[in-house]
Amino acid sequence: MSPMRCAALLAGLLIVASAIAGASEDLPREKQRSSYDDMAPATRAMQDADTDNPGMLWVLDGEALWRAKTGSAARACADCHGDAKQSMAGVAARYPAFDAKRGGPVTLEGRINACRVENQNAQTLAYESRELLALSAYLALQSRGKPIAIDEKKLGETIAAGRDIFRQRQGQLNLSCAQCHDQHYGGKLAGNTIPQGHPNGYPLYRLEWQTLGSLQRRLRNCLTGIRAENHAYGSRELIALETYLMWRARGMSMESPAVRP
Amino acid sequence: MARALVNIPPKAKRGEVITIRTLMSHQMETGFRYSTTGAPIPRDIITTFIATYNGEEIFRAELFPAIAANPFITFTTVATESGTIELTWRGDNGFAASEQATITVE
């Protein structure tokens, strides 16, 4: 091999190496942008006014559930936690959190269900059921305006696992989450602006769904969109992705219950 | 649980145009869809919305299957006198809900 060709090959390798390095960087904090900023003024107005935001219908239900005695222990959430406005302020912004008892991450929905089983002797609530969405919306509302803060020391492994899934090309379209949401946000996909994909407003009211939905529902939508094999609600993979996404959105303020087109 | 969010200004000047905004929780099932087993899902929508001001009807709307879930209805009226504004929603399967608010006109 001539020295010229050798140099060209080396240069080529360097370009490839730098492209890989570029792709392996997390979205920098100064570039974070909430999808709220890309919404039409009418949709923003809908989110901003509590009497116009359909998510608040679930919040009203959640407030009633918070005070309702349930399970064979006949205990309400409020009996232990008191006024959610104080006891739950900023809590949802820290979820998924590290659960010492299980030695792993637990989502807000998972915590609600664990609390129901362990302290109320009640049945768990299914993902996307009206009750679970109502309770999680009510809790998430108490964190509105608070910065997202995930315990990255304790959840380091989960964040890393989520990052791997985020960057893994998958599905028949052979796309990774990062290709759209890290590298092409702000561009167009079928006429829609590609968002950065921050989870700062969940559970949120999607006009397309005509209902409130959890982050995991949205993640499953995206996986269907790239024609990938889906993960079950509450699965290790979705929890890891959720944890990584919350970490990636660290410092952004919570908008729950948000409205999205 | 029929939940509603209603925004009616508590105070207004006589002759002022006020905006009333309402959001009613309802799935608005169109009746055109089929379940996973192929059985038609029966229609379940709100059909009528009526607003009265001190007992007098000031606004009425008919709703149809093309209207989205959790219908948001907004309208304006002139604040004529202090009193009660009552909003009523009626629909399929005996659905009925109402909300009321008082307004002080100075």
Other CB atoms within a 10 A radius of the CB of residue A149 amount to 14
Residue of A nearest to B68 (CA): A210
Domain assignments of chain A as residue spans, ordered by start: 34-261
The predicted pLDDT at position A6 comes to: 56
Contact present, A70 and A131 (Cβ < 8 Å): no
CB contact A48 to B (< 8 Å):
no
Q: Do A57 and B69 touch (CB under 8 A)?
A: no
The whole domain housing B81 covers: 4-30+43-105
**Chain B residue numbers touching A53 (CB-CB < 8 A):** 5
Q: Name the strand (E) or helix (H) holding A84.
A: helix A84-87
Q: Do B69 and A50 touch (CB under 8 A)?
A: no
Q: Name the strand (E) or helix (H) holding B50.
A: strand B46-53
The amino acid present at A3, given as its one-letter code, is P
Residue A16 has pLDDT above 50, yes or no: no
- Model confidence band, residue A22 (pLDDT cutoffs 50, 70, 90): very low
CB contact A131 to B (< 8 Å):
no
The predicted pLDDT at position A4 comes to: 57
CB contact A49 to B (< 8 Å):
yes
Could you tell me which residues come within 8 angstroms of residue B63 by beta carbon, excluding any fewer than 6 positions away?
Answer: B28, B45, B46, B47, B48, B49, B71, B91
Residue A20 has pLDDT above 90, yes or no: no
Q: Do B72 and A64 touch (CB under 8 A)?
A: no
Q: What does the pLDDT average to over B45-63?
A: 97
Residue B103 has pLDDT above 80, yes or no: yes
Q: Which CATH number fits domain A34-261: 3.40.50.880, 1.10.760.10, 3.30.70.890, 3.40.640.10?
A: 1.10.760.10
Give, in order, the Cα–Cα distances in Å from A110 to each of A61, A97, A261: 19, 10, 27
| Two tokens, residue A82 | 């008191």
**Chain B residue numbers touching A50 (CB-CB < 8 A):** 5
**Residue A29 to chain B, least CA–CA distance (Å):** 36
In a domain, B36, yes or no: no
**Residue A100 to chain B, least CA–CA distance (Å):** 37
Number of domains comprising chain B: 1
Q: In angstroms, rounded to a whole number, what is the distance separating the alpha carbons of residues B93 and B26?
A: 12
CB contact B32 to A (< 8 Å):
no
In a domain, B37, yes or no: no
A222 part of the active site: yes
In a domain, B35, yes or no: no
Scanning the structure block, which residue is given the tokens 């989205």?
B68
Nearest to A101 by CA among A83, A119, A81, A76: A119
- Model confidence band, residue A25 (pLDDT cutoffs 50, 70, 90): confident
In a domain, B51, yes or no: yes
**Residue B57 to chain A, least CA–CA distance (Å):** 23
Scanning the structure block, which residue is given the tokens 């959430």?
A77
Nearest to B92 by CA among B65, B58, B59, B61: B65
CB-nearest partner of A211 from B5, B23, B69: B69
Q: Do B72 and A52 touch (CB under 8 A)?
A: yes
Q: In angstroms, rounded to a whole number, what is the distance separating the alpha carbons of residues A134 and B97?
A: 20
Residue A108, Ramachandran bin (φ over 0: left; ψ between -120 and 50: alpha; else beta): alpha
Q: What is the pTM of this model?
A: 0.89
Specify the CATH number for the domain of residue B9. 2.60.40.10
In a domain, B38, yes or no: no
